[in-house]
A and B are shown apart, each in its own frame.
Chain A
Amino acid sequence: DAKTTQPPSMDCAEGRAANLPCNHSTISGNEYVYWYRQIHSQGPQYIIHGLKNNETNEMASLIITEDRKSSTLILPHATLRDTAVYYCIVREETSGSRLTFGEGTQLTVNP
């Protein structure tokens, strides 16, 4: 799996958009960008994933640059419950591929 780089921490005001960046300059053509988060004392939670096109679901939007070397997860209206560690993972969708989380970004949403 390609290596990813994320800032260790970010702060965001409640109600504002949270934009979490991820660099993955060594991504290969068949690797997807996945985002998960882990709220304190809970299991990891899948958020969104994409290959090359921007994606949106009920939780977030994923913007992938044209060269696919970086991406941004956008939480459009952050709430206090979005405070968590966010993990950007680049991986192939092949059978048996396990998840490996890096350091992630600790997002703190402030009132």
Chain B
Amino acid sequence: GAGVSQSPSNKVTEKGKDVELRCDPISGHTALYWYRQRLGQGLEFLIYFQGNSAPDKSGLPSDRFSAERTGESVSTLTIQRTQQEDSAVYLCASSRTSGTRIRAQYFGPGTRLTVL
């Protein structure tokens, strides 16, 4: 497809369970971001991938959160032992790069995670 896709669109899980969220960036976009947005709040940066460089994990809120990216394609965000405060919309964005310049970020529709 032409845009960023994310799956699942909605996920309801029980406290303590692990969840895995998937992001397919736009083809050719080397930069990939994960954000979290709680209801009525702004974007919270989680992690950033750029090509083969080490990811910027500085936004991950705890060691229960991890993310991987295969080359310049699919990324998965894993949350272990989910807690109710993890409930939010998880957004993925990708962008092209030109040398060191990052272009506009294009967002996916998000995954709405509800932890019961």
**Residues on A close to B: CB < 8 A?**
34, 42-46, 49, 93-102
Contacts and interface: CB of A to CB of B under 8 A. Distances in A.
Contacts, number: 54
Contacts of B100: 94-95
A21 to B, nearest CB: 20
B59 interface: yes
B35 to A, nearest CB: 7
B107 A43 contact: yes
Interface residues of B, number: 25
Contact of B102 (A94, A100, A101, A102): A94
Given A94-B100, A101-B43, 17 more contacts: A42-B109, A42-B110, A43-B91, A43-B107, A43-B108, A43-B110, A44-B43, A44-B91, A44-B93, A46-B104, A49-B104, A93-B101, A95-B31, A95-B50, A95-B97, A100-B42, A100-B43
Q: Identify whether the interface residues of A are mostly helix, strand, loop, or mixed.
A: loop
Interface in B98-114: 100-110
Q: Main secondary structure on chain B at its contact with chain A?
A: strand
A34 B106 CA distance: 12
B65 interface: no
A96 B102 contact: yes
Interface string B56-91: 100100000000000000000000000000000101
Interface in B15-58: 31, 33, 35, 42-43, 45, 48, 50, 56
A46 B107 CA distance: 8
A93 B42 contact: no
Contacts of B89: 43
Nearest to A93: B101
A97 B102 contact: yes
15 contacts: A34-B104, A44-B91, A44-B93, A46-B105, A49-B104, A93-B102, A93-B103, A94-B100, A94-B102, A95-B97, A95-B102, A96-B48, A96-B102, A100-B43, A100-B45
